[in-house]
């Protein structure tokens, strides 16, 4: 509905193109294989032994074969879209076959559906490469100005937000046998189940990315961008309503909610860091320390029995004060160093991060004054209570059971909404434009009358304040504040999240935070190699797509200054 | 007073290690304005390279032969890693905004640590390093001030390395080309200097010195560990900034200053904040103080600020 149809000019309908034939044959084989059994043993997720039921990874195979329907009509961008679909399809088939064989103890244990799938995938790839590439590049299109434009567009926009959330929820809800924290390196032995689940999750992520790529090649994403750009508030509102409705789908279980809540706080911190790094261009390598300042402050005034202060402040006051205390640290640290060149800030913030970790580790009464309980941290933080509403109890709303985790999930959602609003309002303000000017060229910015030192300090302190506020909330969610959670690798992961997602954009930070938080939890088959993969990924992202997955237009141009190919900026 | 002099000796030994590693940071920074975050891992690889060499030698090889071979082995491993790193991680990003190579450097650093941790045999915990130089052999410097043989070796190796480097940079043709590239890479290229080669040279020299530091710290402490490069790397960078980054004598001076601060703070800081638990915190406090009052470092930086 949103793509241009290219009318065939000549009536040359003599023989179908070889590429069209091969692609079609491949897609049909793949579709058939999705209804055949893929595993010769029970236990692989998605009931892979059943025939006539396209479950698990077979559904992804089917979905990725669907774009071949475009063969029936020569739509714009068809060849590019099918090439993308075919490549991703091949990857998904290969990956799934590998994991089915690996988890089943050998290739002999795969099911009969695997063979047509492999042949089909190869045909699909070969055929799509031979497709005539004469069609026009797909352009985004908006609806004509009609009276029915608004309802249709708002439906599409709201539907997109809902769809995104729904896909996220599916990914989150996929079975994992046990939850490992992101920095936990000592995992137990792997079970077959872990391997199989990791494989299915990986196939899921690749499929989503592939379908997004196909939609992009067909121009659907551009149309969507135009529409969401016209109704930004609706889009955000729909997203938040969908996110807020998430606990109602969990039927009283809290496992996914607690992961989602942690992603939320991680994302909030990433958005906060995005103000410092993405907008103002200040490299902060110790951001997690500001988060930690807030967390420890929150823990110390929570009324926990392990807190030496014994103070119990109201939670609303705690958030504000935690943010302020962290912001003051930001001012103290930023004031002397922000006058200097950027690299010094990187090393000073790194130093501050280490000092913070060492200090809270030492303030245990033996190596220093007693304040933080040293390596054990401040634990047993009591549940929040607002009036008679106890956050630690399960509730029932509209007849639906809600586990207590949903209370914390909503709290995180509020926090995230607040941080995102701050970011967006700031980035569109005079201050935000000044930050971008400083990031692009500090000398030129100063020459136009921007007080660069003061504005840099503002960005730095503001980032610290948001991190502190997020930290106080997080302390109450995870119920403990301990030095181990505030190491350099955490700061690096946050930084990597906004770089992967795209610097200076909110969706980028959200996407990056989600991916970087979920991948280590879901990819348990990588086991000890997770950090190794993390390191390689950082290097590769910087090589291949330094502007991130969701690039702001300005940044994409900055990184591709010397390239004239607009296609490089068009994707995603 | 003896305690003071003994700590002074310890400070010089520690400072020698920092200085050696700091030289690598300062040379690379002086030429390409890159904080090579992975340089600490190059130092760590030097230690593991030497260990590997030792394990490959037939048992019973006399220390006089094994030690030079281990130094060479460590240097080879470090230099190879540095050259590969420069070629495949940093060079493609040379015209990118400055944040990009810095993030790449963090990635390389994590990658190298994890590579050793996962694939070097039994490297998940610290690995024992051969005690070829007997640490019980103490040289008396005063009534109760002494320096152990591995410590003495560290200082000697560091001094030789520093003097050689300084002579090389000041006197040799390549060294002068390095200075020219640091001052103005574009003009240097116009003068016929192969700046790519000069950048590689800076990485190679830095890696060789870091390997020396890695081997001598293995000899001193009797172990090497995949994580040893991180904190040493950060402190060596601190030392480079302290001395004035881009300045070769500054890196050495910064190294010794930082060593002195760390050792003396551990000994003499007001009561609850003395002792080993706080020594890292003190180094960073000093860094922040220096940046506040003398942001160009002790000797001032040689490179002009570029927008």
Q: Map B61-96 to HEC letters.
A: CCHHHHHHHHHHHHHHHHHHHHHHHHHHHHHHHCCC
**Can you give the pLDDT at residue B254?**
92
Cβ of A539 within 8 Å of Cβ of B111? The answer is yes
Mutation choice for A interface testing from B99, B244, B276 by most A CBs within 10 A: B99
- Average pLDDT over all residues of chain B: 87
Q: Which residues contact A412 (CB under 8 A, 6 or more apart)?
A: A260, A261, A264, A265, A268, A473, A477
Q: Please tell me which residue of chain B has the smallest CA distance to A438.
A: B307
How near does any CA of chain A get to the CA of B82, in Å?
15
For residue A365, what is the nearest residue in chain B, using CA coordinates?
B272
Percent of chain B with pLDDT over 90: 39
Nearest-CA distance B133 → chain A (Å): 33
pLDDT at A562: 53
Residue B195 token pair:
């700046």
Q: Where are the alpha helices (DSSP H) in chain B?
A: 2-32, 39-56, 63-85, 99-119, 149-171, 173-183, 185-190, 195-221, 228-243, 248-268, 279-293
**Rounded Cα–Cα distance for residues A19 and A11 (Å):** 19
Find out whether A412 and A261 touch, Cβ atoms under 8 Å: yes
Q: Which of A342, A347, A496 sits opposite B237 (nearest CB)?
A: A347
Say what the alpha-carbon torsion angle A91, A96, A98, A101 is, to the nearest 10 degrees.
-160
Q: Which residues of B touch A536 (CB under 8 A)?
A: 107, 111
| Closest residue by Cα to residue B105 from A538, A341, A487, A439 | A538
pLDDT of residue B213: 94
pLDDT at res. A7: 45
From B106's Cα to the closest Cα of chain A, the distance in A is: 8
Instruction: Say if the Cβ atoms of A277 and B99 lie within 8 Å.
Output: yes
How high is the pLDDT of residue A41?
Answer: 73
pLDDT band, residue A396 (cuts 50/70/90): low
Distance from CA of A187 to the nearest CA of B (A): 14
What is the average pLDDT value for chain A, to the nearest integer? Answer: 76
Grade residue B76 by pLDDT with cuts at 50, 70 and 90: very high
A214/B contact by beta carbon, under 8 A: no
Q: Which residues lie closer than 8 Å to A319 by C-beta, 6 or more apart? A: A298, A469, A472, A473
Using a CB–CB cutoff of 8 Å, tell me whether B304 touches chain A.
no
The pLDDT of residue B70 is 93
pLDDT for res B260: 92
pLDDT at A557: 60
What does DSSP assign to residue A385?
A: E
Residue pLDDT, tens place only, B240-289:
888 888 888 889 999 999 999 888 888 887 777 777 777 788 888 887 78
Whether residue B250 contacts residue B278, with contact meaning beta carbons closer than 8 Å, is answered with no
> Does B164 contact chain A (CB < 8 Å)?
no
Average pLDDT over every residue of A367-382: 73
Mean pLDDT of A176-196: 49
pLDDT of residue A259: 78
B274, B275, B232: which is closest to B255 by C-alpha? B232
pLDDT at A382: 76
Which member of B102, B117, B283 has the closest CB to residue A283?
B102
Contact (CB<8Å) A361/B277: yes
Query: How many Å apart are CA B104 and CA B116, to the nearest integer?
Result: 18
Q: Which one of A331, A343, A516 makes the best mutation probe of the B interface by having the most chain B beta carbons within 10 Å?
A: A343
What number is the ipTM of this complex? 0.85
- Cβ-defined contact of A542 to B103 (cutoff 8 Å): yes
Point out the least confidently predicted range of A51-55, A120-124, B6-10, B67-71. Answer: A51-55
Mean pLDDT computed over A46-63: 77
- Which residues make beta-bridge pairs with B224? B127
Give A-chain residues touching B92 at CB under 8 angstroms. Answer: 543
Of the partner residues B99, B275, B285, the one whose CB lies closest to the CB of residue A283 = B99
Report whether pLDDT(A568) > 50: no
pLDDT at A530 over 80: no
Min Cα separation B193/chain A (Å): 25
* Res A545: pLDDT: 75
Q: B149 vs chain A: nearest CA distance in angstroms?
A: 32
Please say if the pLDDT value at position A368 is more than 80: no
Does A332 lie at the interface with B, CB-CB under 8 angstroms?
A: no
Tell me which long-range contacts A449-457 makes (C-beta under 8 A, separation of at least 24). A453/A338, A453/A339, A455/A280, A455/A431, A456/A280, A456/A282, A456/A334, A456/A338, A457/A331, A457/A334, A457/A335, A457/A338
Q: Which of A29-38, A339-348, B18-27 has the largest mean confidence?
A: B18-27
Q: Which two tokens stand for residue A1?
A: 């509905």
Q: Per-residue pLDDT averaged across B164-187, rounded?
A: 90
Tell whether A554 lies on the interface with B, counting CB pairs under 8 A.
no
**What is the arithmetic mean of pLDDT over A282-310?**
83
Nearest to A367 among B113, B277, B283 (CB): B277
Are the Cβ atoms of A283 and B281 closer than 8 angstroms?
A: no
Return the pLDDT at B307: 30
At A485 the pLDDT is 82
The pLDDT of residue A134 is 57
pLDDT digits 0-9 by tens, B212-224: 999 999 998 889 9
CB–CB of A92/A61 below 8 Å? yes
Across the A:B interface, residue pairs with CB atoms under 8 Å apart total 138
- Chain A interface mutation, best of B100, B110, B272, B303, highest count of A Cβ atoms under 10 Å: B110
CA distance B289 to A362: 22
Determine the pLDDT at residue A81. 80
Residue in A456, A454, A311 with CA at minimum distance from that of residue A378 = A311
Between A468 and A23, the higher pLDDT residue: A468
pLDDT of residue A481 exceeding 60:
yes
């Amino acid at each position: 509905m949103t793509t241009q149809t290219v009318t065939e000019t000549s009536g040359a309908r003599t023989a179908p193109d070889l590429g069209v034939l091969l692609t079609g044959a491949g897609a049909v084989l793949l579709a058939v294989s999705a209804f055949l059994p893929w595993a010769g043993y029970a236990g692989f997720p998605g009931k892979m032994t059943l025939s006539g039921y396209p479950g698990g990874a077979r559904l992804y195979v089917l979905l990725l074969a669907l774009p071949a329907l475009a063969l029936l009509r020569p739509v714009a961008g068809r060849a590019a879209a099918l090439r993308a679909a075919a490549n991703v399809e091949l990857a998904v088939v290969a990956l799934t076959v590998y994991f089915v064989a690996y988890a089943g103890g050998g290739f002999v244990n795969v099911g009969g559906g695997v063979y047509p799938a492999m042949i089909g995938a190869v045909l699909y790839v070969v055929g799509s490469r031979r497709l005539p590439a004469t069609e026009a590049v797909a352009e985004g299109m908006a609806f004509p100005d009609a009276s029915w434009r608004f309802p249709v567009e708002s439906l599409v926009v709201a539907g997109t937000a809902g769809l995104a959330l729904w896909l996220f929820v599916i990914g989150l809800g996929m079975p994992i046998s046990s939850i490992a924290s992101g920095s936990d390196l000592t995992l137990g032995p792997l079970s077959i189940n872990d391997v199989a689940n990791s494989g299915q999750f990986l196939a899921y992520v690749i499929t989503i990315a592939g379908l997004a790529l196909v939609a992009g090649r067909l121009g659907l994403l551009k149309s969507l961008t135009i529409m969401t750009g016209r109704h930004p508030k609706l889009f955000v509102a729909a997203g938040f309503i969908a996110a807020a409705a998430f606990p109602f789908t969990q039927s009283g279980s809290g496992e996914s909610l607690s992961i989602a809540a942690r992603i939320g706080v991680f994302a909030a911190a990433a958005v906060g860091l995005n103000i410092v790094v993405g907008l103002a261009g200040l490299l902060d390598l110790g951001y997690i320390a500001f988060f930690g300042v807030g967390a420890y402050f929150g823990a110390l005034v929570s009324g926990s029995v392990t807190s030496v202060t014994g103070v119990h402040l109201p939670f609303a006051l705690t958030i504000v004060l935690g943010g302020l205390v962290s912001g003051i640290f930001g001012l103290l640290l930023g004031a002397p160093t922000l006058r200097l060149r950027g690299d010094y800030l990187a090393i000073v913030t790194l130093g501050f991060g280490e000092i913070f970790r060492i200090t809270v580790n030492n303030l245990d009464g033996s190596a220093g004054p007693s304040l933080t309980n040293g390596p054990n941290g401040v634990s047993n933080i009591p549940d929040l209570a607002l009036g008679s509403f106890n956050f630690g109890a399960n509730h029932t709303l509209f007849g639906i059971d809600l586990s207590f985790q949903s209370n914390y999930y909503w709290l995180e959602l509020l926090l995230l909404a607040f941080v995102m609003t701050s970011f967006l309002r700031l980035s569109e303000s005079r201050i935000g434009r000044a930050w971008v000017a400083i990031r692009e060229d500090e000398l030129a910015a100063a020459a136009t009358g921007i007080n660069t030192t003061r504005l840099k300090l503002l960005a730095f302190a503001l980032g610290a304040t948001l991190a502190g506020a997020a930290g106080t909330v997080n302390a109450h969610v995870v119920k403990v504040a301990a030095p181990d959670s505030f190491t350099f690798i955490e700061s690096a992961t946050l930084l990597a999240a906004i770089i992967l997602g795209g610097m200076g954009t909110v969706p980028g930070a959200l996407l990056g935070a989600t991916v970087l938080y979920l991948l280590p939890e879901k990819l348990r088959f990588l086991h000890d190699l997770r950090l190794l993969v993390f390191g390689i990924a950082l290097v590769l992202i910087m090589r291949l797509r330094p502007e991130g997955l969701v690039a702001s237009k300005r940044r994409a141009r900055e990184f591709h200054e010397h390239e004239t190919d607009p296609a490089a900026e068009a994707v995603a | 007073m003896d305690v003071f002099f003994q700590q002074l000796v310890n400070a010089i030994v520690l400072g020698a290690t920092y200085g050696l590693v700091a030289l690598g940071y300062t040379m690379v920074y002086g030429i390409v304005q890159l904080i090579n975050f992975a340089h600490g891992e190059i130092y760590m690889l030097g230690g593991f390279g030497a260990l590997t060499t030792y394990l490959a030698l037939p048992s019973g090889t006399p220390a006089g032969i094994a030690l030079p071979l281990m130094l060479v082995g460590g240097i080879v491993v470090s230099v190879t890693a540095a050259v590969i790193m420069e070629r495949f991680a940093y060079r493609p990003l040379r015209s990118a905004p400055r944040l990009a190579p810095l993030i790449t450097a963090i990635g390389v650093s994590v990658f190298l640590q994890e590579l050793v941790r996962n694939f070097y045999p039994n490297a998940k915990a610290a690995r024992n390093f051969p005690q070829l130089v007997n640490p019980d052999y103490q040289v008396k410097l005063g009534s109760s001030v002494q320096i152990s043989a591995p410590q003495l070796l560290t200082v000697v190796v560091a001094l030789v390395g520093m003097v050689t480097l300084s002579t090389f940079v000041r006197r040799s043709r390549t060294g002068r080309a390095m200075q020219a590239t640091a001052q103005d890479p574009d003009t240097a290229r116009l003068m016929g200097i192969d700046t790519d080669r000069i950048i590689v040279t800076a990485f190679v020299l830095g890696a060789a010195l870091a390997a020396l530091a890695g081997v001598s710290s293995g000899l001193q402490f009797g172990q090497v560990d995949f994580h040893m490069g991180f904190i040493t790397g950060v402190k060596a960078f601190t030392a480079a900034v302290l001395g004035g980054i881009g300045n070769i004598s500054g890196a050495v001076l910064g190294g010794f200053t930082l060593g002195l601060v760390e050792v003396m703070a551990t000994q003499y800081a007001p009561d609850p904040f003395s002792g080993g638990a706080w020594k890292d915190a003190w180094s960073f406090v000093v860094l922040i103080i220096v940046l506040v009052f003398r942001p160009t470092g002790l000797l001032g930086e040689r490179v002009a600020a570029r927008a």
